[in-house]
Amino acid sequence: RDVLLSARGLRVDYFDQAEPVHAVRDVDLTLYRGETLGIVGESGCGKSTLVTALTRLERPPAVTTSGTVDFHGDDGPVDLLRLGERELRALRWERIAIVFQSAMNALNPVHRLGAQFADVLRLHRGLSRSDAWQRAGELLAMVGIPADRARAYPHELSGGMRQRATIALALACEPDLVVMDEPTTAVDVVMQRQILRQVARLKRELGFSVIFITHDLSLLIEIADRIAVMYAGRVVETGQARQLYADPRHPYTAALRSAFPPLHGPRREITGIPGSPPGLRHPPAGCPFHPRCPQRFDPCDQEVPPLLGGEGGEVACHLHDGLRASREPHESHEP
């Protein structure tokens, strides 16, 4: 399959304390062209830090300390970690666009909506003022906002409209990749569904790839082709969305599934995940999930499970790496 973005050995550390805090640890992640990759995990697991590093938007005290992030554009792969500010600016909007959790932060409150679209379109697309305003209206209409709302100020729109407007703005230059960090957290469930449907439709029509971050695994079933589950700064499971949801292999993925009811399908009893995610400063030794894991066994608190598998799916858990089998007493040893 055609790779669009591939991260290898990515590490992000926070340098605001005496000791660096490892927020993202040796993450390998591949995004294929045209797919929606969901990244899921509880807050503080490093998922936002990971995507700011992937898109080179991390700011001190966060520093990407090692790894590569190859972006496969038309002229072959470039390592985003090696690009200067000018080259990065050229990539943003046109190749990679980002939609953040809070639409209020993305939109300038003192400028009319259309003016913000027009700025981006004139700078990156060289459109004239009137063409840019015209295009702004078309882009807004694409996400179900009447074109004449281009004259509105952000505060004159509802939260759901503002969030859809930021999605339209991200699509203004027809990027290859749109990164969405919890884009529906601030809106109600009805609006959430409407936004997800719109994103799926636009993706089909325009052919971009999506990285979609959320803490809600059930939401990803609606939109993701593949899912990566993060815990304590690491990717602990990847797989095809339906497969991973139907048959989670990592006990943490199973716990996340129980914590969020599916938007469609039979209702299940919701069980929260006992315990809380570990602080990144002093994560537990061995498997970081072991203090909360109902299936932990002897070496889980000492040995970090490696992420093993291939394109079909990967998992970092001793239940699946042969360690469990090797620790179980053999029948022949019994008296």
Residues that bind Mg ion (CB under 5 A): 48
Nearer Cβ to ligand SF4 (123/325)? 325
Q: What is the DSSP letter of 221?
A: H
300 binds ligand SF4, rule: CB under 6 A: yes
| Chain-centre distance for alpha carbon 333 | 48
What x-and-dash track marks residues 121-160 binding ligand SF4 by CB under 6 A?
----------------------------------------
Q: Residue 295 binds which one of ligand SF4, Mg ion, none, with CB within 5 to 8 A depending on kind?
A: ligand SF4
Minimum distance from residue 102 beta carbon to Mg ion (Å): 11
For the bound state, the minimum distance from the C-beta of residue 48 to Mg ion, rounded and expressed in Å, comes to 3
At residue 247, φ and ψ (nearest 5 deg) are -140, 70
289 binds ligand SF4 (CB under 6 A): yes
The answer to the question of residue 319 lying near ligand SF4 (CB under 6 A) is: yes
Q: Which is nearer to ligand SF4, 234 or 290 (CB)?
A: 290
Distance separating alpha carbons of residues 147 and 135, to the nearest angstrom? 9
* Closest to 114 (Cα-Cα) out of 142, 143, 163, 148: 148
> CA 78, CA 72: separation in Å to the nearest integer?
6
Closest separation in Å from C-beta 7 to Mg ion: 18
* Separation CA 93–CA 82 (nearest Å): 19
Smallest distance from ligand SF4 to CB 251, Å: 4
Q: Report residue 317 as tokens.
A: 């858990």
Helix (H, G, I), strand (E, B) or coil at 211: strand
Q: How many amino acids of this chain bind ligand SF4 (CB under 6 A)?
A: 13
* Footprint (CB under 6 A) of ligand SF4, residues 180-219: none
Using CB under 6 A, pick the residue from 73, 295, 309, 313 that binds ligand SF4.
295
Beta pairing class for 76-79 and 62-73: antiparallel
* C-alpha closest to that of 42 among 280, 320, 315, 297: 280
Minimum CB separation from Mg ion for residue 51, in Å? 9
Give the one residue of 251, 277, 278, 283 binding ligand SF4; rule: CB under 6 A.
Answer: 251
Smallest CA-to-CA distance from 179 within 34, 45, 54 is with 54
283 is a site residue for ligand SF4 (CB under 6 A):
no
Distance between CA atoms of 201 and 39, rounded to whole angstroms? Answer: 20
- State which of residues 47, 135, 226, 290 lies at the interface with ligand SF4 (CB under 6 A): 290
Q: Residue from 154, 280, 296, 314 that binds ligand SF4 (CB under 6 A)?
A: 296
Residue 231 interacting with ligand SF4 (CB under 6 A):
no
Cα 279-27-11 angle, rounded to 5 deg? 65
- Tell me if 68 sits within 8 A of 7, measured CB to CB: yes
To ligand SF4, the closest distance from the beta carbon of 320 in angstroms equals 8
Looking at this protein, which amino acid is placed at residue 259? Answer: A
Q: Which residues bind ligand SF4 (CB under 6 A)?
A: 250-251, 287, 289-290, 293, 295-296, 300, 305, 317-319
